[in-house]
Amino acid sequence: MSDKVIDSKLDTILEMLRSLDRRVAMLEGAMPPAAAAATPHARKPISIKEFIISKAPPNGVLMTLTVGYYLENYDGTTPLTAADLEAGFRAARETVPSNLNDKANSCVKKGYFMEAKEKKDSLKAWVITRTGEAAVEDGFN
């Protein structure tokens, strides 16, 4: 086989892999369909700071929810501990609440978090509920 034929076949295989990658991402909900159909350069990751700015949480409890949402949905961190949330605040260069556990417990009271079935690293841990996800996705309305 000539180099041109091999290159052509490799290009075809590469495009098929990209197509499958977009379809899997769309099916898993990692990206909205419009973003999944975009070119690879349009699918750059969003930083936690960009995410917080785009959501504009109006208070500390909703900021904690927003950080937790980002960690679960973009970093794959689940369940969340106070240490995970603190690391998220620091990565975003946001002021860490003086009592992060209190903010997380407020999220539990509002139905945004629920306590995880098992501890993580011997620490209390939470997962975001559907209500919490909807609050972030709907802009806290």
For 48-80, what is each residue's pLDDT tens digit? Answer: 999 999 999 999 999 999 999 999 999 999 999
Residue 54 has what pLDDT? 95
pLDDT exceeds 90 at position 32: no
Q: With bands split at pLDDT 50, 70 and 90, how would you rate the model's confidence at 141? A: confident
* 18 and 34 belong to one structural domain: yes
Averaged pLDDT score across all residues of the chain: 86
pTM score: 0.70
Written as six digits, the tokens of 138 are 């709907």
* 23 and 82 belong to one structural domain: no
Residue found under tokens 């990692």: 30
* 35 and 100 belong to one structural domain: no
DSSP, residue by residue, 1-40: --HHHHHHHHHHHHHHHHHHHHHHHHHTTSS-HHHHHS-G
* 37 and 18 belong to one structural domain: yes
* 58 and 37 belong to one structural domain: no
For range 84-104, the mean pLDDT: 96
* 87 and 128 belong to one structural domain: yes
Residues 6 or more apart from 63 whose CB is under 8 A from it? 52, 57, 94, 97, 103
* 38 and 54 belong to one structural domain: no
CATH number at residue 77: 1.10.10.10
* 29 and 58 belong to one structural domain: no
pLDDT exceeds 90 at position 17: no
Domain that holds residue 16: 3-42
* 69 and 104 belong to one structural domain: yes
* 68 and 121 belong to one structural domain: yes
* 78 and 130 belong to one structural domain: yes
According to DSSP, residue 117 is labeled: S
pLDDT exceeds 70 at position 103: yes
- List the Cα angle 59/140/111 in 5-degree steps: 85
* 56 and 26 belong to one structural domain: no
The number of folded domains in the chain is 2
